[in-house]
């Protein structure tokens, strides 16, 4: 980002602001957030205005940095349509420290309730909200202040955040994002984050990074369930073997067993509830050395506390986990969230929830989960290259 050539943001670069103006009433409740100490009434940048600017940036390919955002808020059209005033680079950078992301999280949840997904009758018997949980790391370069991070080339200091996301796979919406440091240690460990945010009546889909007997016990105690991929070296003592049905075999299930996990002498914390181990035949593959990915010996081992569901349905539930990877791809690549506008913890969460709101707005308006073709067409409309009639025609063809 250092050495970038200065460029101006013009009115024609930020078209379609009247569409974002419709969300202003929804953001209006954020006006008083962070103003408790402003007794003199000197504050000029409020949280609802900051969020409106972030939403504009996510919808506009012309805005790539915080400085671009600062130049855009000086345009008469932007200030008129979004109800914002001119803001300095320092104000945009520093004010997020006093903005609480929680009210924005509530707005994202309200939008999520308006989304109507197509019911999949296969999963009615689960009786819980199927929720994939995973985390993604987003890098951001801070150019203003020196941070206590490892220096990189050319004097840059690289910092990163991990976004721990809860994604309801059947409705296609993220319902929670928590930002921590990228280092998966202590309170930022993905298992510790999930244990702090467990909700009742959910079926959590987890990958191998969430292998933890303590976590599984907490999920079970909260009245929820889990389907977690276990390692290839799972230590299990079989106590009962379930018979496989024709549907199980058709889904490549090779075994379904009730097991005791771990060694009594080695593991102080062990599952305090009945555990089921289901093995599914998959294509074996070698791990990626560069990404330090694990290998697969051709058997997918799934551990769950759901003893009542067919084995083939458990396997199908785990396959749904990959939908969250598609959400991360949309969030980072299509919405331009690979880099963040703020290095502050609150700023990271605010941009994350604004990204969720963008995904939901596209889903509500188009009836289709965000993909590159749809997002590009919305881009073309917002920068004036496509008319509203052309956008609506494109949506109809996609349906």
Higher-confidence residue of 93 and 115: namely 93
**From residue 313, how far is each of 1, 48, 133, 155, 286 by CA, in Å?**
48, 44, 19, 52, 27
Decide which of 7 and 56 is more confident.
56
Instruction: Name 129's bridge partners.
Output: 202
CB-CB neighbours of 61 under 10 Å: 15
* pLDDT at residue number 334: 62
User: Residue 142 — very low, low, confident or very high, per pLDDT cuts 50/70/90?
Assistant: very low
With 80 as the cut, is the pLDDT of residue 162 above it? yes
Residue 150's pLDDT band, with cuts at 50, 70 and 90, is very low
pLDDT confidence of residue 350: 87
What residues contact residue 185 under an 8 Å CB cut-off, 6+ apart?
none
Q: Does 244 have pLDDT greater than 90? A: yes
* Better-scored residue on pLDDT, 10 or 41: 41
Residue 139 confidence (pLDDT) above 70: no
Confidence (pLDDT) at 136: 82
Residue reference for tokens 């990204």: 355
**Residue 19 has what pLDDT?**
62
pLDDT at 41: 73
Model pTM above 0.75: no
- Selection from 272-281, 314-323, 384-393 with the highest mean pLDDT: 272-281
* DSSP H/E element including 277: strand 275-281
What is the C-alpha radius of gyration for the chain, rounded to an integer number of angstroms? 24
pLDDT at 259 over 90: yes
- pLDDT for residue 152 is more than 50: no
Give the confidence band of 83 by pLDDT, cuts at 50, 70, 90: confident
Q: Kindly report the average pLDDT of the chain as a whole number.
A: 79
Q: Is the pLDDT of residue 216 over 90?
A: yes
Flag whether pLDDT at 237 surpasses 70: yes
Report the distance separating Cα 178 and Cα 194, nearest Å: 10
pLDDT at 307 over 90: yes
pLDDT number for residue 183 = 77
Examine the pLDDT at 156 and tell me if it is beyond 70. Answer: no
Q: How confident is the model at residue 115 (pLDDT cuts 50, 70, 90)?
A: low
Confidence of residue 76 (pLDDT cuts 50, 70, 90): confident
Residue bearing the bigger pLDDT, 21 or 122: 122
What is the structure's pLDDT at 336? Answer: 61
**How high is the pLDDT of residue 143?**
35
Candidates 177, 122, 174, 164; CA nearest to 317 is: 122
Judged on CB neighbours under 10 Å (0-12, 13-18, 19+), 178 is buried
């Amino acid at each position: 980002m250092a050495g970038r050539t200065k460029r101006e943001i013009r009115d024609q670069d930020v078209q379609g602001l009247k569409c974002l103006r419709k969300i202003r009433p929804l953001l209006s409740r954020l006006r008083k957030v962070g103003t408790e100490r402003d007794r003199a009434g000197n504050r000029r940048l409020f949280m609802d205005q900051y969020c409106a600017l972030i939403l504009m940036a996510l919808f506009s390919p012309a805005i790539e940095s915080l400085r671009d955002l600062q130049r855009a808020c000086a345009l008469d059209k932007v200030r008129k349509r979004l109800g914002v005033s001119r803001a300095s680079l320092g104000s945009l950078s520093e004010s997020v420290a006093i903005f609480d992301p929680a009210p924005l999280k509530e707005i994202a949840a309200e939008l999520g309730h308006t989304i109507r997904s197509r019911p999949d009758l296969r999963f009615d018997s689960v009786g819980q909200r199927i929720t994939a949980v995973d985390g993604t790391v987003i890098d951001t370069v801070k150019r203003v202040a020196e941070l206590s991070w490892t220096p990189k080339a050319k004097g840059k200091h690289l910092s990163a955040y991990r976004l721990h996301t809860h994604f309801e796979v059947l409705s296609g919406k993220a319902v929670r994002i928590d930002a921590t440091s990228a280092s998966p240690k202590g309170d930022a460990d993905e298992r510790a984050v999930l244990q702090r945010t467990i909700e009742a009546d959910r079926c959590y889909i987890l990958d191998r990074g969430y292998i933890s007997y303590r976590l599984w016990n907490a999920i079970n105690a909260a009245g929820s369930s889990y389907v977690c991929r276990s390692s290839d070296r799972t230590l299990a003592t079989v106590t009962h073997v379930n018979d496989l049905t024709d549907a199980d075999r058709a889904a490549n299930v090779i075994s379904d067993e009730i097991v005791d996990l771990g060694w009594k002498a080695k593991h102080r914390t062990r599952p305090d509830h009945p555990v089921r181990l289901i093995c599914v035949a998959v294509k074996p593959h070698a791990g990626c050395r560069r990404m330090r990915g694990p290998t697969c010996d051709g058997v997918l081992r799934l551990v769950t506390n759901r003893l009542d569901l067919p084995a083939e349905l458990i396997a199908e539930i785990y396959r749904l986990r990959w939908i969250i990877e598609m959400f991360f791809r949309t969030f980072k690549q299509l919405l331009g969230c690979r880099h963040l506008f703020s290095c502050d913890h609150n700023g990271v969460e605010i941009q994350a929830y604004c990204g969720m709101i963008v995904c939901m707005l596209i889903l509500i308006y188009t009836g289709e989960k965000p993909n590159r073709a749809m997002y590009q067409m919305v881009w073309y409309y917002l920068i004036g290259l496509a008319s509203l009639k052309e956008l609506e025609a494109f949506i109809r063809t996609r349906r």
